[in-house]
Amino acid sequence: MPRNSLVLAAALAASLAAGVAAADAISVSGLRHTVDKSYRRMMEGAALFERLHALAPEASLRYRLLPRKAGTSLRGIELAVIGDSFEFPVAIASDDTFALERNDQAMREDASVRPNRRVDSMTWRADVRTPGLPAGVRRLGDLRLECKVGMRAGLVSHYPSVIGWLLGSSGDDPAVCDSPESPYLFFADRPIFGVVLESAGRRQALSVRRLYAGIAAGETPKEDLPYCDCEALLDRAYELPLGDASWPDDARVELQYMDSPGGEPAMKGWSKRAVHEAIGTAGRVMRFESGYEVWVYTFGDTKGGRPGTELVLLFDRSGTLSADRLRPARA
């Protein structure tokens, strides 16, 4: 679903909630406690992982808990599988991941996986990692499988599913992971400045349009962020060309973090004022709660509406330039 439709989704949700409340005293949010997840759906995700294990043959499946709202702490979080007649705890590792074992009773009772956190305070993702990779490096096949499992398990929630249906969204269809322009959001462990794909000597930096949930391209207005589970993780969010078959599953995804971006920018240490005086006003400025700031300059457009050459600048918490990236336009 296009991101600029999220405001309409919110309005429709409010309208539907009011109508239902008048008739039956039930709100839309009451139809499903959105911080809960379906045990059955998560088992379906696990089954899909086994069927598609060839995408990540050395990896195992875990699920990850993430904050959705700023200020949310996962410290002390507890998790349980809850059915009509039972409840059992789920162990959470120090990295906020957990595994689920199949339980026939939980399947029969259509149990929920429930943390001790309020509605909309956190979100979920599948976690598939091939062991032995360097720090800051992911494997594309792992991430392709994360997307498919996450969609099948119903882990991504932005707004009530009935609204997504009315607006023609892809819902929880894993096929969304087969598009070169897949909108599925991944979250890095720390704020990122850039993402680079590498395979057999071929290297390609992602456009800044694929970072920060599309903020740099104006695809996610600020007022829509409360409806995105990326709100608290905006500076860690990125998309990938998951359906681009020219990138093999063994391709590496290199994450360049804001606190250690690498490289030696020509204007290193320049102030924002000095940069502005030298090259003018940036087309897009993104200020993050971490204190970092990203400026984006775009020069020209290529055929088919693709972005032109991008100059992306990173300013650290002190307001001085710490990194830059020039991404030539693609033909």
The residue ranges of the chain whose pLDDT is under 50 are 1-34, 160-168, 331
Domain count of the fold of the chain = 2
- Angle of CA points 119, 176, 99, to nearest 5°: 50
pLDDT at 321: 98
**pLDDT tens readout for residues 168-220:** 455 578 999 999 999 999 999 999 999 999 999 999 999 999 999 998 887 77
Instruction: Assess if residue 265 is contained within a domain.
Output: no
292-298: long-range contacts (C-beta < 8 A, 24 or more apart)?
292/191, 292/235, 292/258, 292/316, 292/317, 293/319, 294/193, 294/208, 294/212, 294/216, 296/208, 296/216
Which of residues 224, 257, 290 is at a domain's end?
Answer: 257
Closest to 174 measured CA to CA, from 184, 185, 188 = 184
Instruction: Assess if residue 266 is contained within a domain.
Output: no
Q: Is 151 helix (H, G, I), strand (E, B) or coil?
A: helix
**Distance in angstroms (rounded) separating the CA atoms of residues 85 and 111:** 10
Instruction: Assess if residue 262 is contained within a domain.
Output: no
- Residues of the domain holding 56: 3-257
pLDDT at 129: 98
Q: pTM of the predicted model, to two decimals?
A: 0.84
Query: What is the length of the chain?
Result: 331
Whether 60 and 148 share a structural domain: yes
pLDDT at 170: 52
Structure letter (DSSP) for residue 320? B
**pLDDT tens readout for residues 142-170:** 999 999 999 999 998 665 433 343 334 55
Taking the alpha carbons at both ends of the chain, their separation in whole angstroms is 27
Whether 44 and 190 share a structural domain: yes
- Report strand pairing: 112-115 vs 79-82: antiparallel
